[in-house]
């Protein structure tokens, strides 16, 4: 997981170097402000809309489309798994050819990106289909074994509207695969972030504190203690980060002096903010106090990260600033309102998600194109159905 906000002035966020030994001219103050402001906006969009969609997802009645619930045990193990993954990628880039590794990763994220983007745009696209649109249902089913030992490998249900969304998303996928353009990268990155916030649910606030606290240490260590995270972020040609060029005003869409924000800095605080929105709804007071407080805290924390990075001209572990803000602000509000006990006793999985499965293994594949994109973070709850393993991109 990449969780660093990087400063292009020292090269940590550059995806394109100066050609023929020439020195890249410094970015203008206007270009820097535009890049940082755009990164902030791109981070806020999937958190806000992903949190709203997480409520609808939690209330869904289809068991196959239920979100994954992260428990305290999962949260405690996550920083260790993330560290091993990050170190493994670093060693791979040191030992093997970066070109071949990125080719494999590009194909992998090409498929996942299309599915994630299709799921993201599906609710919006459905509004444009006329009432008399010929929408047909399809199913692609693969099984193994026979009789009582028969098991489903892939159960892929979709309709004509899904095919249209997949076709549109495939255009972006081909664009990304051929050009690696920063706009295509951001479209996939935003889709991954929104899906993560929507489909990964913390079961309670204590679990959120464990997860954010563990990743706080993870982020600080791998950014300040080593060059591993920044090296992987520079070498990893995949939509695991949001980028925006600081030289856009000078070079237009072909700009190549990028500032970047790792998707981990969006999804991890985002799922905590989404949990607080569901907590607000559970209070039945018709207010979203904790959601707006944590959302404002995220803006403050990321803004502080950008400020510190700009002052010191060095990549910053964004969670160093985001975690205290996103946890501290809502807790202070709860203290002021006398609702600390209610906050920490709230169980998302018990109140809104009575049948949500635990996150006990890597996600699997099944369902419609929308639920196939969802399957990056979920599994089917049925006792007799199994699906193939499909590692999460984040």
Q: Are 241 and 2 in contact (CB under 8 A)?
A: yes
374 belongs to the catalytic site: no
User: Which long-range contacts link 361-366 to residues 24+ away (Cβ below 8 Å)?
Assistant: 361/389, 362/389, 362/390, 362/391, 362/392, 363/68, 363/389, 363/390, 363/391, 363/392, 364/388, 364/389, 364/390, 365/154, 365/156, 365/390, 366/64, 366/152, 366/154, 366/155, 366/156
Q: Which residue has the tokens 């972020």?
A: 233
Residues 7, 65, 162, 219: which is the catalytic one? 219
Phi, psi of 201 (to 5 degrees): -115, 130
265 belongs to the catalytic site: yes
Nearest residue to 226 via CA among 331, 351, 83, 120: 83
Residues 247, 265, 280, 374: which is the catalytic one? 265
CA separation for the pair 323, 371 (Å, rounded)? 30
Which H helix or E strand runs over 125?
Answer: helix 98-125
Q: Which residues are catalytic?
A: 219, 265
């Amino acid at each position: 997981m990449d969780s660093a906000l990087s400063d292009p002035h020292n090269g940590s966020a550059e995806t394109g170097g100066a050609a023929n030994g020439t020195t890249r001219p410094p970015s203008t103050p206007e270009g820097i402000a535009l890049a940082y402001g755009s990164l902030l906006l791109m981070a806020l969009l999937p958190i806000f809309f992903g949190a709203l969609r997480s409520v609808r997802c939690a209330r869904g009645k289809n068991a196959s489309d239920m979100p994954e619930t992260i428990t305290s045990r999962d949260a405690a193990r996550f920083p260790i798994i993330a560290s091993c993954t990050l170190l493994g990628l670093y060693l791979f880039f040191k030992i093997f050819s970066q070109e071949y590794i990125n080719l494999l990763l590009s194909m992998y994220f090409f498929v996942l990106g299309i599915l994630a983007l299709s799921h993201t745009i599906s609710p919006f696209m459905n509004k444009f289909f006329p009432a008399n649109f010929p929408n047909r249902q399809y199913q692609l089913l693969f099984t193994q074994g026979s009789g009582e030992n028969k098991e489903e490998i892939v159960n892929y249900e979709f309709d004509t509207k899904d095919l249209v969304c997949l076709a549109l998303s495939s255009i972006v996928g081909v664009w990304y695969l051929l050009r690696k353009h920063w706009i295509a990268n951001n479209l996939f990155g935003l889709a991954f972030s929104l899906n993560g916030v929507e489909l990964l649910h913390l079961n309670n606030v204590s679990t959120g504190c464990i997860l954010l606290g563990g990743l706080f240490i993870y982020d600080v260590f791998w950014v300040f203690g080593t060059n591993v995270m920044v090296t992987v972020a520079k070498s990893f040609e995949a939509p695991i980060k949001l980028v925006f060029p600081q030289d856009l005003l000078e070079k237009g869409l072909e700009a190549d002096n990028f500032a970047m924000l790792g998707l981990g800095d969006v999804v991890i605080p985002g799922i905590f903010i989404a949990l607080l929105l569901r907590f607000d709804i559970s209070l039945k007071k018709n207010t979203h106090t904790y959601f707006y407080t944590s959302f404002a805290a995220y803006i403050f924390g990321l803004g502080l990260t950008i400020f510190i990075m700009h002052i010191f001209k060095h990549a910053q572990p964004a969670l160093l600033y985001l975690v205290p803000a996103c946890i501290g602000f809502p807790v202070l509000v709860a203290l002021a309102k006398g609702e600390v006990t209610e906050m920490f006793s709230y169980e998302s999985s018990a109140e809104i998600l009575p049948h949500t499965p635990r996150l006990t293994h890597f996600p699997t594949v099944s369902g419609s194109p929308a639920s196939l994109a969802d399957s990056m973070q979920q599994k089917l709850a049925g006792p007799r159905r199994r699906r193939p393993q499909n590692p999460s991109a984040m």
